Structure formats: structure tokens, C-alpha cells
Amino acid sequence: MKYENIKEGIFIERPNRFIAYVEIDGNPEKVHVKNTGRCKELLRKGVRVYLEKSSNPERKTAYDLVGVEKNGLMVNMDSAAPNKAAGEWLASGGLFPDVEVLRPECTYGNSRFDFYLETKENKMWLEVKGVTLEAEGVAMFPDAPSLRALKHVEELITARENGYEAGILFVVQMEGIRYFTPNRQAQPAFAQALERAEAAGVGLYAYGCHVTRDSMQISYEIPVILNPDKEQDGLETIAAPLLKWYDENRRVLPWREDPAPYRVWISEIMLQQTRVEAVKPYFQRFMESLPDIAALADVPEDRLLKLWEGLGYYNRARNLKKAAGVIMAEYAGVMPAETEELLKLPGIGSYTAGAVASIAYGEPVPAVDGNVLRVISRYRMDDRDMLNAKVRKSVEDDLQAVIPQDRPGDFNQALMELGATVCIPNGMPKCGECPWKDSCKAHIQSKETEFPKKAPKKIRTVEKKTILIIQDAVRTAIRKRPDKGLLAGMYEFPSAEGHLSREEVLALLKEKGMHPLRISRLPDSRHVFSHKEWEMIGYCIRVDELEPVGGVKEGLLFVEPARTEKEYPIPSAYAAYTDYLQIRIGNGKYEAENVDNQ
């Protein structure tokens, strides 16, 4: 559902259930509140609110208050919105794919229910309840005692006893919810009625919504836990079988066999966005060249980037050097053990801090990466967007409660290992090898590949480039990229935007004072970054003479291929063209050296 004319404001006060005062464009305005609930935890003085302008010029209040921001979370508080969103969702097959009849506002017995549905096999009465009360990722209803809600539950039990299907749909008007539970503190009788309803076969459904300033759409399923004190998320039982499986199946990895803080840190940074097998030789060379924090702090950037060449995401390497400098200056060269101190270092987030603290120092803190999020999402059939920061934080909190105090590092590594080798991201997971195969909800329901849920990926931008390999008899032209931005500080071949013809390339070089002798077309190449991709064509141009090394024309350096291979870090994006020069970059260079030395 969408709103037509939304205005931002700042909440001032709410003198009664129906009206509030809001500052709009610097002036106080009386507005209508489209929710008669208390909403005290939402409507606090100074919070940002969202208002829909009425199309009726005769109304006493020109705006309806429909949304509010709560700690960075957008919450829709329009009491009419849940029914509208539910109607759209039901009509699209959200609850049942074969709905043949969908009627709003129908009477059964002494109650008027929000929807009556018919499928080929069933007839169902459905009541919708909007939910805006949330605390620590838990949604609750009601926020105040409601005799009407209690009556609806009892009437649905009667409908079920009379042969109808019956259900209650709790529409949670926000994102990032871990589970829904009845608000026992506000109305114990309602919680008890829901327990009777579930026992009678009444369906209890909870779904969260994607909420923007001008729209709300049902988007993810939320677990319903009627009594959180008795029923947990099930994670309290995962540690023992997981650690037993890990002890029997763990891979032998160089950083795992000697988990010193520096080694753990370097390995975890390298493993971000990179496969284990690809990292192994880089890790070995890095440790040989820069064996400790002091060496890392002092290494020249070009040398560091050359060691990193081929791993990509080069800011990881730069942040390693920055963090090493901080450790030398502020921690006497010793990697801090506390998570709070680790988080202060450049390039270290909650995952890396948790990994170092738990694996190297035995601190009982979680380390949640993409592997862990995928495993937990499938285990609990968690419909939430695992890339959402609030969702990640809630998973960290849940794991914090169950992490073994005596083996926190092994527990975290076991979760990562399970995600990397069994509960894999692409293709069918190897559920027969999983220590949780009898308790994983997604596996039990054969829905492994449906989790985790992911928001649609943003479309990458495409850039067309013409790569120029400009050579004289012995040297090739390269240049250094800017110090900020994509591939910052790396070296590249000269290039031009767009795909140039042979004639356009020759004209361009002549404009720059070069005298081409020969030009030949090189193979096309394509390189994909996380947010963009390059479509490249290339030319090799032989010129009569290049400027001396250190020349300033176009910022070019003119160097022999052997020096390029050893001294100048060139990103793997240009691998197709470094191959043409018979130079090797990244891991390929070191593999070739090993062959030559045998």
C-alpha cells in the first residue's frame, strides 16, 4: 500500500488519543493520529514523524500522522494500514496460493472479521491485528488490554469447532523483528486465549513489513512464540553436536594450527570475500615477508600492495597497515584482546573483532559472518534480510547467549566451517553431513535453498574502457591510479573511456605527442567488481621512443616488464593484458617462480 502526499515533521505532544501537535516547516500544527493505541514508546517529543496530507479541504486537521522513526527504524503506525497491506498480500497468494474468494469485513456469529477466504478445499475466517509495539527485536500485542481482541479470539475458536478454518494474522508494521509474542504483562488473558486458540487449531501467523516513508508491504514471516520463558529459538542445543562435528571434520589451515593474534587477524582480513584455498599461499608469503605487527607498520605501501596483488579489495591491505601503526603507537605493539578495543582499529568490524578475541584470546564473543548468517537463517527458517544491520546484531545477541565459555574460538570456527563446507551458499547444501540435520527447520521442511532471504541486488553500472599497451623496444607505459576511490594507489595501463576504434586510438596518441609505428587489437576482457563492471577492449601500440623513466607526460612511468612484475602492483582487473606482456601478477607470479626454481 502507498500514501500519496507525505510530509515530514517533528513530534511535539499528544494531548489525547485522536490528535497530536507536530512541528511542520517550523510551525506547530494540530494533526489527526491514525492509531488510538497508546504508542507511548513511539511518540516521544522530538522524534521524526511522517504525515499524509488530507485531500479534504473541509477537515479540521489537514494531516494524518501515519509513521514514525524509532532508533533509526521506520515504523508505520496507521491502524488502517495492516488491513490494506494484508488485503494486497492475500490477494497475491501470500497465505494461500489458490484463493478463489476474498471478502473484507464479514460477520460470523457475534463478531465482524477482517477477511473471509475460500480456497478449493477450505473456507476460512481471518482476523488481522496491527502491531507497533517492539522491544529488542521482539514484537508484542496488545499494547493495552483489548476486550475486542479477546472476543475475536474466542469467536475464532468457535468457528474452528464448527468446521471452518480460522486464523489471526499479526501484521508487524516494521522490519528487523526476531519473533512475535503476546504481551502477557499488558493482558495475560489474551496470551492465554491464544494458547487455547492454537490448541483448537486456529492458525497464528505473524508477518513483518518493509516500511518506507510512503509505503508498507508485507515482506517476511516472523516466528510466533506464545511463551518465550518456555520456548526458545532452539539455539541453546546447537553447541554440543556442532563442536563434536568440528572436532572430527575440521580442515587443517595454517592460521588455525598457530592461532596467534596477528596471524588470526591477517587471515580473517584476507578471507573476507576470498576463498580459503586462494588465501593459503598469500597468507604464507605475507607471514614470511611481514612476520609481525612492527614489520607491517613499517612496510612501504607499494610493497604491501604487491604482496596483496590479486586478492582484490585493496583497502583491506591499507587498513591493515593503518591498524598496525595504531597498535604500535597506542598498544605497545601488542594486539588488544578486548572486543571494544579491537573495534577502535581501522578496518576491524564486529566480525573480525569477535574472531580475534575468541580464537586468539578465548573471549566468549560471537563472530558472525555470511557463513554464520546463512547457517542460522536455515536452522531457524529465519525470513529476515540477513544483510540488515539490525538483523545481524540480533543474531550476534542470540549466539552470545549460547556460546560455550570454554571453547568460544572453536564454536565460532565451527559455525564458519559448517557454512563453508556443508551448509554451502550455491547449489544444494550437504544436509546428510550436517550435525543439525534432525533439528534444522529448513531441512525438515525441505526448504534449505529458500534461505536466507535476500533483498534484490542493485544493478551494477557498466563502464566501457579502451586499454592501451604502449611500448617501445624494451619498456611499457603504466601509471598510478589516484590515492582514493576504486583500486586506489594501484598501477594500471593507460586507458580511455568508451570503446575506441583503431583510428581513434592513433589520433589520441598523436595528440599526446607520441609516434605510433604499429597497432594491433588485443582480446576483449571483462572484470566484475561488487558495484560495477568494466567491459574492456585493448590495443598494443609500438612507438618509436618513450620518455625516460620518471617522465611526467600524462603521469606515465616507462618500465621494463620484469620491473613491473616485481615492483608495481597491478590489479587482477588487467590480467588479460598483463598476460600479453608475459608478466604475471598476484598468485600466478609466485606459482611460476616456484616452478622455475624446481
Scan for cell 550455491, then name that residue.
426
Alpha-carbon span 114 to 198, nearest angstrom: 19
The answer to whether residues 354 and 412 touch, using CB atoms and an 8 Å cutoff, is yes
- Residue partners of 418: CB distance under 8 A and separation at least 6: 242, 245, 246, 371, 375, 434, 435
Helix (H, G, I), strand (E, B), or coil: what is residue 166?
A: strand
CA 304 distance to own-chain centroid: 29
Alpha-carbon span 580 to 523, nearest angstrom: 9
Of 158, 214, 208, nearest to 3 by C-alpha is 214
Of 424, 419, 449, 293, nearest to 356 by C-alpha is 293
Joined together, the cell numbers standing for residue 228 give: 518465550
Alpha-carbon span 411 to 243, nearest angstrom: 6
Q: Determine which one of 268, 309, 363, 448 is catalytic.
A: 268
Cis before residue 142, ω within 30 degrees of 0? yes
Write down how long the chain is.
598
Joined together, the cell numbers standing for residue 418 give: 559448517
Scan for cell 537463517, then name that residue.
377
Please count the CA atoms within 13 angstroms of the CA of 302 that sit on its side-chain side. 9
Alpha-carbon span 90 to 165, nearest angstrom: 15
DSSP string spanning 388-443? SHHHHHHHHHHHHTT--SS-HHHHHHHHHHHHHHTS-SSS---GGG-TTTTT-HHH
Of 413, 443, 445, nearest to 428 by C-alpha is 443
C-alpha distance across the termini of the chain, in Å: 68
Residue 555 gets the label, from left (phi > 0), alpha (psi -120 to 50) or beta, of left
The verdict on whether 236 is a catalytic residue reads no
Give me the numbers of helices (H) and strands (E) for the chain, helices first please. 21, 22
Q: What is the CA radius of gyration of the chain?
A: 31
Alpha-carbon span 15 to 43, nearest angstrom: 11
Helix (H, G, I), strand (E, B), or coil: what is residue 4?
A: coil
The answer to whether residues 107 and 115 touch, using CB atoms and an 8 Å cutoff, is no
Of 493, 433, 495, nearest to 464 by C-alpha is 495
Q: Which residues are catalytic?
A: 268
